[in-house]
């Protein structure tokens, strides 16, 4: 396995994703773990991450000595390259200004990392790579024993290697998709240079996970909060596979779900899987508390807090119910690896928070329950593979992500029940048309060609005309984005004919909406959600 040491970059998780996509297991840990920890982790290779802008002022961030003593290959990325240079006797010139963006890098010589990997070659025969660069600080002198691996005109040492030791470093970011051959480089490092097998796959994982859950839980009872989202659904299916009726799912409906979502969740879990599911309709309570609240973060906090309240009350009832549940001892959650990293579970999150995502931290202690998180080490795409392997319908498993606060952050400003009803219906039309429209070039539906698509309710009225009459109704915005990591995203170039159909249907079928707009903003600087 590979150890990734995080120096606080926004994109450290992507390094782990790329390595896992090469079917190599890896974990992210903070850059200041102890030498002892690194030795006991026994990695076959180590990757040093980049760091986020402000930490550039802090040149003290270093890799632990054990990284260099262990005798395993090391790959430094961006800041990781700079710290490698400094720690091994090279030189870095620190600078206040930074340059971001696309760059073409020239590869030098033959190295195990880059041999045979190139995007194009120049007329002089130089191998060139299209990469995502981010530099300001740069290595200005190679450490002893190192040779030049890559360069650009503005960054003469854009990569370096000491092949005897298996040390490689690049100033650009191979983990982001803008670096065209980035995945190939990380695969090369993990599989060929570090010598990892590439045998990390989902099929075997079910048996392992089922055995682990049975062993952990024994004959005790487990409760799980089902949200309708992919993660909690897959966790429920996996735990149900392991312990059957020892699992009770609690489905809290906050009234801000997509159209018919509650019904679908019940049909799937109570119906097809025959799992024990308690359906709690708490919409009145949620909407009541949201009355008059317009600030997005405040809305998130309220929804998160109420969710915990409702869930706690249900869990207490279940614990007391005796006959049905012999007193649950475990709380199961669909926490996935990015959540663990984001909520500081591994204390690696040094990046800044843009939006607070609510994950029910602190709940198990309050309930006196032990925590069961069977998806804790998996990334989203792995969770999906697992879901399909467990027999969940691909339609459910490959659904676009839906935020925990649901339509609460898609109704701008104050959340009113009548807005939610309008939005649910408009959104259902948009999604239905995306699923029904096949792109002839790829044979895929536009739903599958987009990473996330939804409708946003704008609490403003505009004038329209329908039949002979003037209308004065609400506006919705359609949003559809393409992204692989949700950290950056482009708006999708949906066919005009599709947009036309969606707009026509929404305005005709949803009385109360008379105008439909399409959001053409990318992230950054916009975010995917409007709140």
Question: Which residues fall in the annotated binding site for ATP?
Answer: 227-233
Shortest approach of ligand XMP to residue 409 CB, angstroms? Answer: 6
Helix axes 230-243, 202-217, angle to 10 degrees: 60
Is there a contact between 151 and 81 (Cβ–Cβ < 8 Å)?
Answer: no
Q: Note whether 380 binds ligand XMP by CB under 6 A.
A: no
By CB under 6 A, which span of 109-117, 173-181, 403-411, 514-522 interacts with ligand XMP?
403-411
Q: Note whether 335 binds ligand XMP by CB under 6 A.
A: no
Name which position in 64, 240, 405, 411 contacts ligand XMP (CB under 6 A). Answer: 405
Please pick, among 26, 29, 78, 314, the residue that the annotation labels catalytic.
78
Shortest approach of ligand XMP to residue 349 CB, angstroms? Answer: 15
Burial of 263 (0-12, 13-18, 19+ CB in 10 A): exposed
By CB under 6 A, which span of 124-132, 236-244, 353-361, 384-392 interacts with ligand XMP?
353-361
Q: Which residue has the tokens 């209308």?
A: 471
Phi and psi, residue 172, nearest 5°: -85, 175
Please pick, among 29, 155, 163, 175, the residue that the annotation labels catalytic.
175
Residues 423-462: x where in contact with ligand XMP by CB under 6 A, - otherwise, as a string: -----------------------------x----------
* CA dist 29 → 37, 125, 350, 435 (Å): 10, 40, 12, 40
Q: Note whether 393 binds ligand XMP by CB under 6 A.
A: no
Q: Is 173 a catalytic residue?
A: yes
Task: Give just the sign of the alpha carbon dihedral 497, 503, 508, 514.
Answer: negative
Closest to 263 (Cα-Cα) out of 228, 220, 236:
228
Q: Note whether 73 binds ligand XMP by CB under 6 A.
A: no
Q: Note whether 157 binds ligand XMP by CB under 6 A.
A: no
Q: Which two tokens stand for residue 240?
A: 């149900």
Residues 296-325: x where in contact with ligand XMP by CB under 6 A, - otherwise, as a string: ----x-------------------------
By CB under 6 A, which span of 287-295, 349-357, 471-479, 500-508 interacts with ligand XMP?
349-357
Known binding-site positions: 227-233
* CA dist 527 → 136, 217, 355, 362, 522 (Å): 26, 40, 10, 28, 7
Q: How far apart are CA 81 and CA 75, in angstroms?
A: 8
Q: Note whether 485 binds ligand XMP by CB under 6 A.
A: no
Q: Is 254 a catalytic residue?
A: no
Q: Note whether 486 binds ligand XMP by CB under 6 A.
A: yes
Question: What H or E segment, with its residue span, contains residue 60?
Answer: none
Shortest approach of ligand XMP to residue 354 CB, angstroms? Answer: 6
Q: Is 78 a catalytic residue?
A: yes
Name which position in 401, 436, 509, 511 contacts ligand XMP (CB under 6 A). Answer: 401
* Cα Rg, the chain, nearest whole Å: 25
Is there a contact between 495 and 437 (Cβ–Cβ < 8 Å)?
Answer: yes
Is there a contact between 16 and 28 (Cβ–Cβ < 8 Å)?
Answer: yes
Shortest approach of ligand XMP to residue 529 CB, angstroms? Answer: 3
**Which positions touch ligand XMP (CB under 6 A)?**
300, 354-355, 357, 401, 403-405, 409, 452, 486, 523, 527-529
């Amino acid at each position: 396995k590979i150890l990734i040491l995080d120096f606080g970059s926004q994109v450290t998780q992507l390094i782990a994703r790329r390595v896992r996509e090469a079917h190599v297991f890896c974990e992210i840990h903070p850059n200041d773990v102890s030498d002892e920890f690194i030795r006991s982790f026994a990695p076959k290779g180590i990757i040093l991450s980049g760091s986020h802008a402000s930490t550039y002022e802090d040149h003290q961030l270093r890799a632990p000595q054990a990284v260099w003593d262990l005798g395993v290959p090391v790959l430094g990325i961006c800041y990781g390259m700079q710290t490698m240079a400094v720690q091994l006797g090279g030189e870095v010139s620190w600078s206040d200004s930074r340059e971001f963006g696309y760059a073409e890098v020239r590869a030098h010589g033959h190295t195990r990392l880059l041999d045979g990997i190139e995007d194009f070659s120049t007329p002089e025969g130089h191998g060139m790579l299209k990469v995502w660069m981010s530099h300001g600080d740069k290595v200005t002198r190679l450490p002893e024993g190192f040779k030049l691996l890559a360069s650009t005109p503005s960054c003469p040492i854009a990569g370096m290697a000491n092949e005897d030791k298996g040390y490689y470093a690049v100033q650009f970011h191979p983990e982001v998709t803008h670096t065209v051959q980035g995945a190939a480089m990380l695969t090369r490092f993990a599989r060929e240079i570090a010598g990892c097998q590439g045998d990390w796959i989902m099929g075997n994982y079910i048996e392992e996970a089922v055995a682990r859950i049975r062993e952990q839980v024994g004959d005790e009872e487990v409760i799980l909060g089902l949200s309708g989202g992919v993660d909690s659904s897959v966790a429920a299916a996996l735990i149900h596979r392991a312990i059957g009726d020892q699992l009770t799912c609690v489905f809290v409906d906050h009234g801000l779900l997509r159209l018919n979502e509650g019904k679908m969740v019940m049909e799937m879990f109570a119906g097809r899987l025959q799992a024990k599911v308690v359906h709690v309709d708490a919409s009145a309570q949620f909407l009541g508390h949201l009355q008059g609240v317009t600030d997005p973060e405040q809305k998130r906090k309220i929804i998160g807090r109420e969710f915990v309240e409702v869930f706690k009350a249900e869990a207490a009832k279940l614990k007391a119910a005796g006959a049905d549940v012999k007193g649950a001892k475990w709380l199961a959650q669909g926490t996935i690896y990015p959540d663990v990293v984001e909520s500081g579970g591994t204390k690696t999150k040094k990046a800044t928070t843009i939006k607070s995502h609510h994950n029910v931290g602190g709940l198990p202690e309050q309930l006196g329950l032990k925590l069961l998180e069977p998806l804790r080490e998996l990334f989203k795409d792995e969770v999906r593979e697992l879901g399909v392997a467990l027999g969940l319908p691909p339609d459910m498993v490959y659904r676009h992500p839906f935020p925990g606060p649901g339509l609460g952050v898609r109704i701008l400003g104050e959340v009113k029940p009548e807005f939610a009803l309008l939005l649910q219906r408009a959104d259902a039309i948009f999604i239905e048309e995306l699923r029904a429209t096949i792109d002839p070039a790829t044979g895929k539906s536009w739903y599958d060609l987009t990473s996330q698509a939804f409708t946003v309710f704008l609490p403003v009225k505009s004038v329209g005309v329908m039949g002979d009459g003037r209308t004065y109704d609400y506006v919705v915005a359609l949003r559809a984005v393409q992204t692989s990591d949700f950290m950056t995203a482009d708006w999708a170039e949906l066919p005009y004919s599709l947009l036309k159909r969606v707009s026509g249907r929404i305005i005709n079928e949803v009385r109360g909406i008379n105008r439909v707009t399409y959001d053409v903003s990318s992230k950054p600087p916009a975010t995917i959600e409007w709140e």
